[in-house]
Amino acid sequence: MKKYVSISILGFLLLSCLAFKFEPINSFPLFGKFIILDPGHGNEDPGSIYNDEFEKNYNLEFARTLKRTIEKYGGTVILTRDGDYDLSNPKAHSRKRSDFDNRIKLINEDAPDLYISLHMNYLNDPKYFGSQTFYSTVNSKNELLAQKLQDRLNDFFNFKKDYKKIGNDKYMFSKIEVPGVLLEYGFMSNYKDRKNLKNENYREKLSTVICQGIIDYFT
Ligand SMILES: [Zn+2]
């Protein structure tokens, strides 16, 4: 009897090892996918401001964490900026317009499988928190991506925000032809979002949720 038990245990261990051996294949669901992350603002353009805190810095930190997380899932990622600068030409008449134009050019020319522009929201009422996706109708895949991301984000934040169409005034997003969304991943105007987003563990958790949404979109 003891012998059979030992054999069963051995068999179980062997199966566990096999399962473990094959697991890494499934843990790279974004292998072969090329993603551009676009942290908004930079340099003279701080984005939203709360006291002495600038949105541009939050965007960069979050983009870096999201990049690492996507890479853990096997994806290839580049950032439109990886420092405190914007993409405007130094002699540009309109710095903001030039920054947009160069982001548009970079994303269109590199033709990733998808892009995500990262920004924070700001409302006068500080009670609003959490992430929301916005899409333009330029590429027909944008809405699906916005929906898949929002579904996962709604589960994570335990709320029911709608993914929304970007208004016509969003110059940049009307010119990017490859699939992608604007992700307002948190509120500068909300204490908890600011506090959470300073924490690498939280940024990793939120990044993992976003990766799940990206995987849903591709599958
Ligand atoms: Zn912004």
Identify whether the C-beta of residue 85 lies closer than 8 Å to the C-beta of residue 40: no
Whether the per-residue pLDDT at 9 is higher than 90: the answer is: no
Identify whether the C-beta of residue 173 lies closer than 8 Å to the C-beta of residue 156: no
How far, in Å, from the CA of 23 to the mean position of ligand 1?
Answer: 39
Whether this prediction's pTM lies above 0.85 is answered by: yes
Q: How confident is the model at residue 12 (pLDDT cuts 50, 70, 90)?
A: low
pLDDT value at residue 112 = 98
Across 14-33, average pLDDT: 68
pLDDT value at residue 167 = 77
Measured between alpha carbons, how far is 63 from 60 in angstroms, rounded to an integer? 5
Whether the per-residue pLDDT at 20 is higher than 90: the answer is: no
β-pairing, 164-165 vs 76-79, is unpaired
pLDDT value at residue 148 = 98
3-state secondary structure of 164: strand
For residue range 134-153, list pLDDT tens digits in order.
999 999 999 999 999 999 99
pLDDT value at residue 27 = 80
How far, in Å, from the CA of 34 to the mean position of ligand 1?
Answer: 23
Whether the per-residue pLDDT at 15 is higher than 80: the answer is: no
How far, in Å, from the CA of 46 to the mean position of ligand 1?
Answer: 8
Across 64-82, average pLDDT: 98
Q: Which residues surround ligand 1, an ion (CB under 5 A)?
A: 40, 47, 119
How far, in Å, from the CA of 217 to the mean position of ligand 1?
Answer: 24
How far, in Å, from the CA of 18 to the mean position of ligand 1?
Answer: 47
Whether the per-residue pLDDT at 10 is higher than 70: the answer is: no
For residue range 154-177, list pLDDT tens digits in order.
999 999 999 999 975 689 999 999
Q: What are phi and psi of 20, to 5 degrees?
A: -65, -40
How far, in Å, from the CA of 59 to the mean position of ligand 1?
Answer: 8
Side chain identity, residue 15: L
How far, in Å, from the CA of 54 to the mean position of ligand 1?
Answer: 10
How far, in Å, from the CA of 193 to the mean position of ligand 1?
Answer: 15
pLDDT value at residue 170 = 83
pLDDT value at residue 38 = 98
How far, in Å, from the CA of 120 to the mean position of ligand 1?
Answer: 5
For residue range 190-219, list pLDDT tens digits in order.
999 999 999 999 999 999 999 999 999 999
Measured between alpha carbons, how far is 88 from 102 in angstroms, rounded to an integer? 7
> Percent of the chain beyond pLDDT 70?
87
Identify the residue with better confidence: 100 or 13: 100
Lowest mean pLDDT among 7-16, 87-96, 161-170: 7-16
How far, in Å, from the CA of 142 to the mean position of ligand 1?
Answer: 19
Identify whether the C-beta of residue 217 lies closer than 8 Å to the C-beta of residue 149: yes
Q: Which residues pair with 38 in a beta bridge?
A: 117
pLDDT value at residue 5 = 55
Whether the per-residue pLDDT at 39 is higher than 70: the answer is: yes
How far, in Å, from the CA of 121 to the mean position of ligand 1?
Answer: 7
Ordered DSSP codes for 29-91: TTTT-EEEEEE--BTTB--SEETTEEHHHHHHHHHHHHHHHHHHTT-EEEES-SSS-----TT
β-pairing, 180-187 vs 132-135, is antiparallel
Whether the per-residue pLDDT at 34 is higher than 80: the answer is: yes
How far, in Å, from the CA of 53 to the mean position of ligand 1?
Answer: 13
| Nearest-10 Cα torsion for 102, 108, 110, 114 | 120
